[in-house]
Amino acid sequence: MASVEEVEKEAIGAIAQAASTADLRDAEIRYLGKSGLLTGLLKQIGTLPPEERKGFGQRVNESKDRVQSLLEARLDAVKCGEREEQYERERIDVTLPGMPVRVGREHVLQQATNKIKRVFTGLGFQYMEAPEMEQFKYNFEALNYPPDHPAMDDQDTFYITDDLVLRTQMTALQGRVYEMVERGEMTLPIRVFTVGRTYRNEAVDRTHGHTFHQVDAFMIDEGISMADLKGTLGLFARAMFGDEVKVRFRPDFFPFVEPGVDYAISSPKLFGGKWVELGGAGLIHPNILERYGIDTERWSGFAFGLGVERIPMLAYGVDDLRNFLENDLRFLEQFPG
């Protein structure tokens, strides 16, 4: 019968020789298991004289603890080595390309539109749309264009019939909205904006197209002034182009505003420090308000327009308008959104 010391020595040897977690598990079973060699020594306890039993049991248990802790230490070391091997086996080249995910994307003009819509929605402007094939009366007449006025020459119009044109300006929405106010379907004060497609019969080149997109925003409330217009435009321009953007007004003529201005923006870091014209604006012409029964002593309003294409042109340096409607993916994919 082997002594505790002999069995322990053998167990220590086996642990030292173990090369894998499997060997160690075997050693654990062989020496420390229920019927392991060290545990097995305890069976001899009955054969010993009573005064030795306690001491023997103690020695076996102490020996088991020592073997156990040796085994655990060894297990840690072996496991660590095995993981190392596993890691090495499982090494990948992280510079291999990732799986190309087919992601749908919005067109760059849509992205600009979305941004515009977020800003105006935040300012409490309701978004509305009207037909692209618009009645002459909404495109011109309702907007205070005198009949046969040269201002209509500024915008060579596509006529479908005498009464139906491809709208030349998004301002054409205004008459429809004022009619809703007149009918009581909307009540003052109002804040409305629209974004959409406009058409003018112009020759196409890098900076001109017969089809382009515009924003038009207008509001009517008590005491609206040119300062409110400037402030709103400033807020809008800063949301689109950054915090340092400033707005400048210059007199201009549009039949539907009085006073009428064009507005330009500049920023120390953008556009080469120059003033860049963005669009037309002004206080809604009192003739228009009166036409729809709105009391101009109580109410006033502002309106402004802007070309959607101008935004990516200024922000990203797109210098050829034709790119926008040609759908070349080499162009569109440069704007992941």
Partner 1 sequence: MKFPYSMLLDYVRTGLNAEQAGDLLTMAGFELEGIEEVDGEAVLDIKVMSNRGDGLSVLGLAREVLAKDPSAEPTGLYLSSGVPPVQNEVPVSIETEACTRYAGRLFTQVRNGPSPKWIQDRLVKAGMRPISLLVDVTNYVMLERGQPMHAFDFDKVRGSRIVVRSAKPGEKITTLDGQERELSPFMMMICDAERPIGIAGVMGGQETEVSDRTTTVLLESAHFQNTSVRKTRRALGLSTEASYRYERSVDPNGVLAAIQRFTELIGDAAQPGATTDLYPAPPARTAIRLRVSRAARLLGMPIAETDARQHLSRLGFEVQGEGEELSVTPPSWRPDISREEDLVEEIGRVHGYDRIPEALPHGSTTLGGPKSFEAWKDVVREATVRLGFQQTISHSLRDESPLDDGRFQRIGPRGISDPDMKWLRNSTLPSLADAARRNGGRDLQLFEIGQVFGKKDGQYVEYSSLGLLSQGAIQPEWWSGKAVALASFFTLKGALEELGRTASVDFVFRPPASLDPRLHPTRQAEILAGDQAVGLLGQIDPDTAEAAGLPAETVLAEVNVTAAYGFSKTGIQVREISRNPAIRRDLAFLIDKSIPFQNVSDRISSAAGDLMERQWLFDVYEGKGVPEGKHSLAVALQLRKVGGNLTDEEANQVRERVVAALAELGATPR
| 106 binds partner 1, rule: CB under 8 A | yes
**Least Å from the CB of residue 320 to partner 1:** 15
| 326 binds partner 1, rule: CB under 8 A | yes
Find the binding residues for partner 1 in span 292-321 (CB under 8 A). 300
Separation CA 314–CA 298 (nearest Å): 39
Q: Select the residue interacting with partner 1 from 21, 39, 61, 211 (CB under 8 A).
A: 211
| 25 binds partner 1, rule: CB under 8 A | no
Q: How many helices (H) and strands (E) does the chain have?
A: 11, 9
| 267 binds partner 1, rule: CB under 8 A | no
**Contact track, partner 1, 167-206, x by CB under 8 A:** ----------------------xxx-----x-x-x-----
**Least Å from the CB of residue 275 to partner 1:** 10
Give the range of 27-35, 56-64, 76-84, 215-223 binding partner 1 by CB under 8 A: 215-223
Find the binding residues for partner 1 in span 128-147 (CB under 8 A). 128-129, 131-133, 147
DSSP code for 252:
-
CA angle at 283 for the pair 300 and 139, rounded to the nearest 5°: 105
| 223 binds partner 1, rule: CB under 8 A | yes
Give the range of 11-19, 44-52, 65-73, 326-334 binding partner 1 by CB under 8 A: 326-334
Task: Choose between 78 and 294: whose C-beta lies nearer to partner 1.
Answer: 294
Task: Choose between 70 and 239: whose C-beta lies nearer to partner 1.
Answer: 239
What's the one-letter identity of residue 231?
A: G
User: How far is the CA of 11 from the CAs of 17, 20, 23, 25, 44, in angstroms?
Assistant: 10, 15, 12, 12, 19
Ramachandran angles phi, psi of 301, nearest 5° = -155, 165
**Least Å from the CB of residue 88 to partner 1:** 21
| 271 binds partner 1, rule: CB under 8 A | no
Give the range of 4-12, 14-22, 41-49, 115-123 binding partner 1 by CB under 8 A: 115-123
| Collapsed DSSP state (helix, strand, coil) of residue 248 | strand
CA angle at 277 for the pair 106 and 311, rounded to the nearest 5°: 10
**Least Å from the CB of residue 85 to partner 1:** 24
**Contact track, partner 1, 151-170, x by CB under 8 A:** x-xx---xxxx--x-x----
Give the range of 23-31, 36-44, 63-71, 280-288 binding partner 1 by CB under 8 A: 280-288
Burial category of 87 from C-beta neighbours within 10 Å (exposed 0-12, middle 13-18, buried 19 and up):
exposed
Torsion sign over Cα 160, 162, 164, 168: positive
| 231 binds partner 1, rule: CB under 8 A | yes
Q: Which is nearest to 218 in space by CA: 129, 310, 301? A: 301
Separation CA 16–CA 59 (nearest Å): 22
Quick one: angle between helices 108-122 and 226-241, nearest 10? 130
Quick one: angle between helices 4-17 and 50-89, nearest 10? 0
Please give the size of the binding site for partner 1, defined by CB under 8 A.
86
Is there a contact between 299 and 220 (Cβ–Cβ < 8 Å)?
yes
| 80 binds partner 1, rule: CB under 8 A | no
